[in-house]
Each structure stands twice: as structure tokens, then as C-alpha cells.
Chain A
Amino acid sequence: MSKEAIDTVAPGPALDVQARAADFLVARRDRQAWSDGHEEALQTWLSESMAHRIAFWRLESVWDRADRLNALSSLAQPGKPAVLAARRKTPLIGMIAAAVMGVIAIGTSTSLWLSQPHKTTYETPVGGRQTVPLADGSSIELNTNTILRTKFTKDRRVVELVRGEALFDVKHDAARPFVVLAANHRVVDLGTKFLVREDGASLRVALIEGSARLEARGTAKSAVLLPGDEAHATARSLFVTRKSSNEMARELGWQRGVLVFQRTTLVEVANEYNRYNHRKIVIGDAKAGARVITATLPTHDVEGFARMARNFLGLRVSEREAEIVISY
């Protein structure tokens, strides 16, 4: 206790420190204009004084707590908590109410929710990722560039995967089935953790825990999936393959912010990167596209990948503003 501050700089007035911490936090979480230089400035500031770190921790915990609250509230059911029910009966009661209701029910768009009071939409941008805890104890993790709608009623929980990929961790409730609709197919939960990826008209469902039933619309076939199964469904076909747990872990690399490639062609590698980034990788010719790599790489580091292609694979890399062309 006798020890004074352990750091180099005596903190300024507390109110100033708080304001500075808040500025840093808001700018950093926005990410769009957050450069390495900004990060360095923040780290320097944090290292200057324990008071700086404490102010930052404090506000960060509040900022995160607000996120959590929002996620919790966003799937609240009509008629469940009394506060919500009362508000839902009288939708448009001015800006304040709209703002407050926004917190309660909206994933992405205020206006959308107002027009469809029982649906909630979640959307992640290219490169984004979001975990949505549901009121029933289930949770959904959205991968990059994904749109998902939920519609929960008393006896059904329906989630529509409009686009992209999501990992579902479902609390099973026999009286209230959990159904995922995607690319015209249905996945019915039987007590489960599973990954669904929509790719145009085709659908991939990988089962991680428990079991689920995939009902492929066009073929009128259905398949019960067990852990390790991966089903591919298109408008006309449905087949199931078995994956090792290693392969499953690779599929879920995005949860950790990485792409895991094992003997993967550059064409496929480029496709994966392009799902997460605005700056696209273009494979210039078939010979380059056929090269095979094994690597674990951060989802957002397109430039790092380009460097690797140049230095280790000896390919030609030309960087343009919106794309990086890799050729033989």
C-alpha cells in the first residue's frame, strides 16, 4: 500500500483521464479508422499510468456490458417480459420510444423491425462476426457477410439463413422445435450444435454435437446427421460425408479469426479470403490456381497472404486498390 503509482506519469485529473479513455475506446471499437499508429498511441497511453489502464478497463467493461444486454434483449419474445409486451402493443410512440425499442428488438435495422414486429434480423458485414445469445438459452454465431432472420413463436423457433454462414448451438425443446431454413432446405434440431453455410443455391450443414435432421426440399429426402457428418444439399441432390474432428475444427477456424487450409488449392483459398475481405484476391491463371498450400492464416490479412504467395510460392503478385492478382 505504501507504494505510489508504479508507472512513469502521474495521472491528470480523473475526469480528463476518463474522457481520454472514452475517446480511445470509441475510436478503437469503431475499427474503421483505427490504424496501427492509433493502437500504438493507445498502448503508450495505457502504459503511462495505472490510472489510465483502470479508466480504460472500467469503460470497456461498461461498453461490453451494453453489448451483452443488447444481445440478450434482442430476441426477447413477444409477450414474454411484461415491459416488452406493453411497448410492443403501442409501436410508434415517437423518437424516444423508437430508440428504446430499437434496443429491445432489432438486430440491424430500426425501420425493418417496425414493419415486421415479430421478426428480428441480424446482419454481419464482410469480415464481420457476431454472437447472438437467444432468450431460450441457444446461441447463434454469425460468420462474415451473413444475414439471418429469426421468428420465434410460442411453439416454434424458426431461423432463416438468408445468406452466409452461422454456427448454431441449440437448447433442445421438444415442444418448441428449432428449425433453420436455408436455400430452400430445412434443418430441424434434435439437440444440437451445427454449422450451416449457404452458398448460392447449395447448402452445407456440418454437425458438431448432438443430432439434427436435414430435409432437402427439392429431393424430398431427409437425413439424420450425427457428429462428424457434413451434408451437402443442392436443389437436386443431397449427400452426406464424414469428417474427422480435425477437419471439423478447420471448418470452425473463423471462430478464432483464422482460415485453416490443408492441401487446399489457391482457387479455394482465394474464395475463402474473398468471403471475409473487400479487397479481393484474383487468381490470374489456372496454373497458379492449382497450387496447393497448407497453412493457418488470419482471415483479414489479405496482404500477408499475397506476401506469402510471392515469397514462398514464387508467384507473381500485382497489388491494385481493390484487388490483388496472383499469377504464375
Chain B
Amino acid sequence: MVETPETGRATTATNTVGDPVRMSEVRVWFVREVLPLESVLIQFLKRSRRNRADVEDICQDVYMRVCAAASEELPKSTRALVFTVARNLLINRIKHEQIVSIEAVEDLDVLNIAIDEPAPDRVVIAREELRRLQKVLEKLPERIRTALVMHKIDGLSIAEIAVRLNVGERTVKRDLSDGVRAMAEILLREDADIRRAT
């Protein structure tokens, strides 16, 4: 649990009208409201035919802007905020890059549908979650999976895993670090496809 230091936003607090939202609340809001939208957001950004690094950068930009907005005031509709910001960012980029791509423009229209679409049911029963985690693990490369299982399930420390696997601690750290990002990728993104398919 990290309580983010308030120092970062101290500069804005002075010139903000109304009650600024505490960083810890923004964090709770972000995890609960914004992250579940990530799969749809990424799918949308991918349709603009950009490369992976570009998609990630735009996604980061969207998150920064919605969190900055939310730290002034939590929005009534998170979904509308996220997709409005995403759309504006994309339009700006398209203008800036002077790409007049029919696909890009068409895709912007798709966004309107996405805004109105009801949020997927976030109440997930335990069994379904379990299946999901299994799927996530199965998808990971063996080395990363081994490290994750030893760390999270067997409760071994990085140093202990390094001894067992006869590799350096840096290697274990890197595998776990790759592991958590891969899990995020699957749980927050591909996950939605799994759900939709079943």
C-alpha cells in the first residue's frame, strides 16, 4: 500500500477552486473505475493503426489527463470522461501528424458507441476469477511462470528463488517484473475478450 505523497500536487492546491480530491481517492477511483475500461480503450487505440509504443503512450496520456481532472473533482461518468479525453487526444494527434486516414476518422465514430455501451458487469464470482488466473498463467513463458508461482504461491523471496533456480537475483527480479506487466496485459486487456467469448 503506498500513500502517495501530497507533495506532487501541492503546487496546484493553491490555485484550485473548490475542494481538490485527495490523491488516495484518485487512486481508488482509478483502480475501480478506469482500469476496467482499459481493454476497450486499448482496442480502440489499436484501431488507429499505431504501433504498440504509440498506443501505450496515448494510453498513458489519457490516464494522466483523466487523473488530473479527477483530482479536481471526481467525474460523474468515468466512461464518458475517459473516452472523450481519448477522442480529443487522437484528433489532436491526427491533426498534428496531418494524417487524413479514412480509417482513423471512421474509428472516431466507433467511439460514440463505446461511450454509450453499458459498463461490463464487474461483479465476478470467485470461480470465474480462478479460471481467469489459470488462463493468465498458462499464457506466460515458462520461466516467468515458474518465478511467479514460487514467489506468489510458495511465498519464496527473490533471493530464495535465485538459489533454487541457480540463477542471479537480478534475473529473478527481471522475470517477476516482466511477469507483473504480462499479467496486467492479460488481466486488463485480453481478459475482456475471454469474457466476451464465453
Contacts and interface: CB of A to CB of B under 8 A. Distances in A.
Are A and B bound to each other? yes
Given A11-B64, A110-B154, 19 more contacts: A1-B68, A6-B12, A14-B60, A17-B60, A25-B177, A25-B180, A26-B173, A30-B151, A32-B157, A46-B5, A50-B68, A54-B30, A63-B180, A69-B133, A70-B133, A72-B129, A100-B137, A106-B154, A108-B154
Interface in A107-136: 108-110, 123, 125, 135
Interface string B110-137: 0000000000000000110111111011
B149 A83 contact: no
Interface residues of A, number: 68
Contact of A102 (B5, B27, B35, B154): B154
B56 A70 contact: no
B130 A73 contact: yes
Interface of A: 1, 3-8, 11, 13-15, 17-19, 22-23, 25-27, 30-33, 42-43, 46-51, 53-63, 65-70, 72-74, 76, 81, 83, 95-96, 99-100, 102-104, 106, 108-110, 123, 125, 135
A17 B60 CA distance: 9
Which of B30, B63, B148, B178 has the most C-beta atoms of chain A within 10 angstroms of its own C-beta?
Answer: B63
B56 A59 contact: no
Interface of B: 2, 4-5, 7-9, 11-12, 23, 27, 30-31, 35, 52-53, 56-57, 59-60, 63-65, 67-69, 71, 85, 126-127, 129-134, 136-138, 142, 145-146, 148-149, 151-155, 157-159, 173, 176-178, 180-181, 183-184, 187-188
Contacts of A31: 157
| Chain A binding surface SS class | helix
A109 to B, nearest CB: 6
A89 B19 CA distance: 59
22 contacts: A5-B68, A6-B8, A6-B9, A7-B8, A13-B53, A42-B2, A46-B4, A54-B67, A57-B30, A57-B31, A58-B35, A63-B180, A65-B187, A66-B133, A66-B187, A67-B152, A69-B130, A81-B127, A103-B133, A103-B137, A103-B153, A123-B155
B12 A100 contact: no
A69 B68 contact: no
Contacts, number: 177
Which of A61, A68, A81 has the most C-beta atoms of chain B within 10 angstroms of its own C-beta?
Answer: A61
Nearest to A5: B64
Contact of B153 (A33, A54, A102): A102
A14 B50 CA distance: 14
Contacts of B65: 1
Contact of B152 (A54, A56, A57, A70): A70
Which of A6, A8, A11 has the most C-beta atoms of chain B within 10 angstroms of its own C-beta?
Answer: A6
Contacts of B53: 13-15
A108 B149 CA distance: 10
A83 B130 contact: yes
Given A3-B68, A73-B130, A73-B133, A19 B152 contact: no
A57 B5 contact: no
A4 B69 CA distance: 10
Contact of A27 (B129, B173, B181): B173
A136 B113 CA distance: 41
A72 B126 contact: yes
A96 B148 CA distance: 13
B60 to A, nearest CB: 4
B51 to A, nearest CB: 11
